[in-house]
Structure 1
Amino acid sequence: MSVLNSISQNNTSLIEKSFGNHPNGKEVLCYKLTSNNGMELEIINYGATLVSLKVPLKNSSKVDVVLGFDKISDYINSYELPSAPYIGALVGRYAGRINQAQFELNNQTISLTQNHNQHQLHGGFEGFSKAFWDVISVSSDSITLAYRSQNGEENYPGEVHTQVTYSLTEAMELHVEITAQSDQDTPLNLTQHSYFNLDGHSETIENLELLVNSKEVLETTNENIPTGNFISLHGHEFDFSKQKKCPTSIDSTFVLEKNNEAAALLFSKKNNLKMSVFTNQPGVHIYVGGNCFNQIKGKENRDYHSLSGICFETQNFPDAPNHAHFPNAIVKKGATYSHKTTFKFENI
């Protein structure tokens, strides 16, 4: 019996189960965490992926507010869809797009793998989202996973050691804390890529409402590569400074102010539920999607479509290594990358 299985059997709030076998023969494990207030979280060690997040409602029922799959083969196959959704994954080394899959670092041109036309998206062909993460520690309401990215992975310099901790709190919060160190200077930009739907994972986001505390959005090309310019949100269709209906199509990075305000808030009138997103990152990339193109079923045999969920990818700016005036995305040798994001839920 493994140590983790011993922990699982000795703590009734913690459940570890098999999630199936990867084609390489490795077993994928799923960990179910529960807080005293009734929140339930499921994480698998493939991609440090968030599978399920159940939140208690006023009527004593619970709603699963994230998209996910029931078995590992569906996660693997989802990366072969016409547009891979990265459902629930921990994305890295670099979340978002890097123009022409290259950048200058220490007077050298670094050429990355190209997995998005001639660009790189979300860390390349494999990236952190397809990696097996080691479970470092686990309790009834918290789990820490680690991944060692080898020097040269997807052509990035440096060996990077990353840890992510998911934890539930008594205040109906999900904390996501990521730290990383590299033995060489390297760009690093990680994000948690869950698709949220406060009406429930089988619903549409069309009836949800959104507020974003931002005054500017990044200008992009028709391939969604940042030009380096900022666009004022005053009078813009994506001005969500006041609560209004979720957009049905969006794939944009919002510039965040350095204050204690929530980066974004999401509201469900159906469930009288609010989610606030807090982060120490300079941006939040908001994306509506989750489409599985009728090729893969979501949890509970659901069909996920282009309006199934909304992502709040708290992160640095896409393509920051190629824009000197963007927030610095280079982690120096021996320095620590620190990313903190909280998803806070409230019954309203």
Structure 2
Amino acid sequence: METKLIKTGTFVDNQEILGIELTNTHGTYVKIYNYGAIINKFVIKTKDGRQQDIVLGFDDFEHYLNEDYLANYPYFGAVIGRYANRIKNARFTIDGEVHQLSQSKGPDCLHGGDHGFDKKVWQVLSTIDPSLTLEYVSPDGEEHFPGNLTVQLTFKLTDDNELILDFKAVTDEPTAVNLTHHGYFNLSPNGGNVGSHLHHMPASHYLEQDDNYTVTGRLIPVEDTQYDFLAEKPFARDWDPAEGYDQSFVLDGPAGELVLASETRSKESGLKLSVYTTAPVAHLYTAKYVDVKDGKGGQHYGPFSAFCVETQYHPNAINIPSFPSTVLRPGDTYKMTTIYKIEEL
């Protein structure tokens, strides 16, 4: 087991960007940048000695700063904060005080605003084989969120090919917090469209969204809809081929306990990705809007070239009292764990 720091030679806001590789005893390894806490590589060493990278990204760090990439920005592999998904009208009220955020997606606030945690340099707190702890301190008023928020994220790679993400956050003023990781996965050995991937999600309800993909507060049963993944099926079986999936699901397991969020497998590679989380919601996105040139090995990533399982609290919950609260108060600690487990079938 090993943890290795790699200098990129690139500086952002006068801070050096580092790549940190975590390797387990099987030769599986993960590469993480301290910019955006981006998971750049998740390379599985299979039983026959083959290596397969299961996440989308770039061969070098500089591409994450490329203007063309940022113009059609998909948040490849980054941590999202302070608030995942959309906040209606980019506005919320805590204790009678209205907070107007950046309107980063039409009238709404998406993924924390114009410059969320995905575009911040995180400090490397510790590297203990094979784990990494990063910290970001978000100042009061950043993207118009109240309070100084300190976030710590620990990545740990186990010998069971589990990548564990442990989030913790504290604040000095009441604020809104909903963190997630925005990894783009493709389990096929040669990439391409993920429509043939087989997917299972133990979620009996999904969350209604308006025309801007913002959650309204209504829960809808998945039964007899395209959103029913209670039994495994290919992504493409029921999807609209022009739309794919971009939907939040409420998981059936007990809230706050580590439960299965999804299982996805590829017959081509024989790999299965299981996602476990303590969060109550998983947002499934099949990359409809992705159009990225110069990906790894010169690949052009197009629509439906990956899937995301973004574990989080209910989107827009800060404006929907019937949803679990996403208000963090001084003296309390935000905690959330997500595990990505890879198995070879």
What's the TM-score bracket when you normalise by the shorter of the two chains?
A: over 0.9
The amino acid across from 2:251 in the alignment is L
Alignment of 1:48-197 (within 5 A): 48-77=37-66, 81-197=70-186
Q: In structure 1, give the amino acid aligned to 2:271.
A: L
**2:312 is matched with which residue?**
315
Structure 1 residues 229, 245: closer, same or farther in 2, change over 3 A? same
Measured in 2, the distance between the counterparts of 1:261 and 1:177 equals 15
Structure 2 counterparts to residues 187-266 of structure 1, below 5 A: 187-200=176-189, 202-247=191-236, 249-259=244-254, 261-266=259-264
Distance 1:83 1:221 in 2: 22
Give 2:298's aligned residue: 301
Segment of structure 1 superposing worse, 257-266 or 299-308: 257-266
Cα deviation, residue 291, structure 1? 5.3
Supply the distance in 2 between the matched residues of 1:147 and 1:328 (Cα, whole angstroms): 23
Tell me the residue number matched to 2:20: 31
AA partner of residue 41 (structure 1) = V
Are 1:45 and 2:34 an aligned pair?
yes
**Per-residue displacement from partner, 1:186-236 (whole Å, max 9, x unpaired)?**
110000110011114733212211000000000011111111111110011
| CA drift at 1:307 | 1.4
CA distance in 1, matches of 2:40, 2:290: 16
Structure 1 equivalent of residue 275 of structure 2: 277
1:97-146 Cα offsets, whole Å, 9 max, x none, are 00000011101111111111111000001110000000001133111000
Contact 1:66 1:200 in 2 (8 A): no
Task: Give the TM-score normalised by the residue count of structure 2.
Answer: 0.93
- Counterpart contact for 1:201–1:308, Cα < 8 Å: no
1:278/1:185 CA distance change after superposition, 3 Å: same
**Aligned residue in 2 for 1:6:** none
Residues 57 and 271 in structure 1, CA contact (< 8 A), matched pair in contact too: no
How far the C-alpha of 1:292 sits from its partner, in A, is 5.0
On the 8 A contact 1:81/1:293 being kept in 2, the answer is no
Instruction: Decide whether aligned partners of structure 1 residues 193 and 290 sit closer, same or farther in structure 2, where only a CA change above 3 A counts.
Output: farther
C-alpha displacement of 1:288: 0.9
Larger mean Cα displacement after TM superposition, 48-57 or 80-89? 80-89
User: Residues 29 and 45 of structure 1 are in contact (CA less than 8 Å); yes or no, is this contact kept in structure 2?
Assistant: yes
Rounded to whole Å, the distance in 2 between the matches of 1:261 and 1:139 is: 27
Instruction: Give the root-mean-square deviation of aligned CA atoms.
Output: 1.8
Provide, for residues 162-191 of structure 1, a one-character-per-residue CA deviation record: whole Å limited to 9, x for no partner: 000111111111101000000011110000
Aligned residue for 2:84, secondary structure, equals coil
Report deviation, 1:72.
2.7
CA contact (8 A) 1:292 1:303 kept: no
Counterpart residue type for residue 245 of structure 2: I
SS of alignment partner, residue 73 of structure 1: helix
Separation in 1 of the partners of 2:219 and 2:198?
Answer: 25
SS at match of 1:308: coil
Q: Give TM-score, length-normalised by structure 1.
A: 0.92
2:180–2:311 contact (8 Å) kept in structure 1: yes
Distance 1:95 1:201, change over 3 A: farther
| SS of residue paired to 2:286 | strand
Percent identical across equivalent pairs? 34
Name the aligned partner's letter for residue 263 of structure 1: A
1:335 maps to which residue? 332
Equivalent-residue separation in structure 1 for 2:189 and 2:235 (angstroms): 15
Question: Which amino acid counterpart does residue 329 of structure 2 have in structure 1?
Answer: K
- Work out whether residues 72 and 291 of structure 2, in 8 Å CA contact, stay in contact via their aligned partners in 1: no
SS of the aligned residue for 1:306 comes to coil
> 2:284: which partner in 1?
286
